[in-house]
Structure 1
Amino acid sequence: MSTVSVREAVAADAAEIARIQRVTWRTAYHDILSEQALTELGSPLVEARWAEAIGHPGSRVHLAFEGAFAVGFCVAGPAPREDVADAAGTVPPDAGRTGLIGTLLVEPRWSRRGHGARLLAAAAAGLRELGADRGVTWAAESDSATLGFYRRAGWRPDGTVRTLDTGARRLRELRLTGALEIRLVE
């Protein structure tokens, strides 16, 4: 049995994170995203953006491994105002204590092995260290796998939706929220 682990990413991990994003989006999200968005994932700028994200103060990028293979990643940090406000722009009283799970991806061939749960638990622990009491994330309304994953972690849609333009179509996302006390069941 392979050893599994999660650690914080370093700048040298940017290429591997870009690879995981590219493979996962092309495999799992090809029906949701435009061909243009998928093609842009091959740009060298994607790796540079991940290097910037890894070094961004206040946010943390976690990388999951199975044996020697990087299999997934998660980006978390304080939630920006626009990610916690309601549709009218009203910010809740706990906005300063709310963390954002910006991205959580596990390469599809490594899914269903607990990597997503380990990544979410590590991100939640990091957000608690930053003073967050709860978390929010966004998921495509049509992405039943991601919605199911967060539901199993105790996170629920809070009624807020947003629509993104992917270049060829519009993508409707639901905001989910939940506690940052994530308990792994082995």
Structure 2
Amino acid sequence: MTSAGPDVSVRVAWADDAAAIAALQLRAWPDLYAGAVPVDALPSGPEAEAAAAETWARSLARPADARNRVLVALERNRPTGFVVLTPAADPDCDPVADAEVVELVVAAADRGRGHGSRLLQAAAETLQADRFTRAVLWSVAADDALRAFLVGAGWAADGAHRRLDLTGDGTTVVSQVRLHTSLV
């Protein structure tokens, strides 16, 4: 006799998912920005989660563009990760043909269990349904794990890079590289 596998899925996020998405996001940022942003500069704690949840709820209830999408990975009914999709805004991108994966987050405790792959596949299918032909994603340059995951899924660096000055005074700068994949 074999046992059934875990109940896992990906679906479009609802406004009711806002608190879970905010918690996942704020808990992921210290790992994502390790070494680039001082931990105490990142929002954390119940007040920050409540404020982020409110922002997420508004965004999920009324997206600014019909092609702005948030997908959430679930194990049973527990959110384990999310992906944010939107038309690409880079000057060298075509917002009709190019989409951007703005954020791809899987809870640290849930990594290596297929949630990221399911999110990436669902994101590609959603973007194809919205008639995008290419997707781009900006990755922190030092995030070797994310880049390796994306390259393994068929993404590649496209040569674009940028430095984001998060504080405006040059004290907190994040270097990023852009990866892309064809959706056709």
Normalising TM by the smaller chain, what interval? 0.7 to 0.9
The DSSP-based 3-state class of the residue aligned with 1:119 is helix
Letter in 2 for 1:53: S
Is residue 2:142 matched to residue 1:174?
no
Q: CA RMSD in A?
A: 1.9
Q: Which residue of 1 aligns with 2:55?
A: 49
Identity of aligned residues (%): 34
List alignment gaps of at least 5 residues for structure 2: none
Mapped partners of 1:120, 1:52: distance in 2: 24
Aligned ranges for residues 48-127 of structure 1 at < 5 Å?
A: 48-54=54-60, 55-56=62-63, 57-80=66-89, 83=90, 85=91, 91=92, 94-127=94-127
Is residue 2:12 matched to residue 1:8?
yes
> What displacement does 1:22 show?
1.4
Deviations 1:9-51 (A, max 9, x none): 0101000000001121234533332335423575233112212
Letter in 1 for 2:80: V
Residues matched between the structures, number? 172
Quick check: 1:165–1:171 contact (8 Å CA) kept in 2?
Answer: yes
Mapped partners of 1:37, 1:2: distance in 2: 37
Quick check: 2:33–2:140 contact (8 Å CA) kept in 1?
Answer: no
Q: Which residue of 2 aligns with 1:18?
A: 22
Structure 1 stretches of 4+ moved >6 Å: none
Mapped partners of 1:65, 1:40: distance in 2: 23
TM-score w.r.t. the length of structure 2 is 0.85
List alignment gaps of at least 5 residues for structure 1: 86-90, 182-186
Letter in 2 for 1:174: V
Quick check: 1:6–1:118 contact (8 Å CA) kept in 2?
Answer: yes
